[in-house]
Amino acid sequence: MQVPRRAGLGTLLVAAALAGCAVPSTQAPADDARALADALAPVTSAVETALVATDLLDRDRATATTVDTALLDQLNVLQDAAGAVATLVPAPGPGTEQQAEALAAVHDAEAAVAAARAWATGAGGSAAEVTAALDEAATIVDDLSTALEQAS
């Protein structure tokens, strides 16, 4: 029985697509720490950008529309970072706990930026509350990043 050429090509395309969805894995706990620290780097940048944007709006140096756009961009960065952290397959050891801490830190940063966006668009909150939440998220991410860098 001869397999139609089209079926063979389809199987090859499906296999290639599934290979592109492979979940990263690491070999050692130090690799986990390094991979998580790398995934958290854009989180720090996103939170700092959100702080600058909200400060500009609070001082009437930017429009609400501009700040809303900047904050939405930062939420997209944070979603990508959350995906990078969530898809890591840690090696046996402390990687699972580190991954959970990193996910919590990214989600806290997302919540802080989302609250800043709500404030920027007039949906509630205050500049002081938003700034405090962003500062806290930045501190948590920075502390975790430092610990992960030391562990790698």
Read off the amino acid at residue 148: L
Residue 70 near residue 51 (C-beta atoms within 8 A): no
pLDDT at 28: 74
Give residue 92's Cα distance to chain centre.
Answer: 23
Of 138, 149, 147, the residue nearest 42 (C-alpha): 138
Helices 127-151, 95-120: inter-axial angle, 10-degree rounding = 160
Residue 152 near residue 30 (C-beta atoms within 8 A): yes
CA distances to 39, 112, 131 from 47, rounded to whole Å, are 14, 8, 10
Per-residue pLDDT of the chain (152 residues; tens, 9 = 90+): 454 544 443 443 334 443 343 345 557 778 889 999 999 999 999 999 999 999 999 999 999 999 999 999 999 999 999 999 999 998 888 989 999 999 999 999 999 999 999 999 999 999 999 999 999 999 999 999 999 999 98
Torsion sign, CA atoms 92, 93, 99, 104: positive
d(CA 40, CA 135): 16
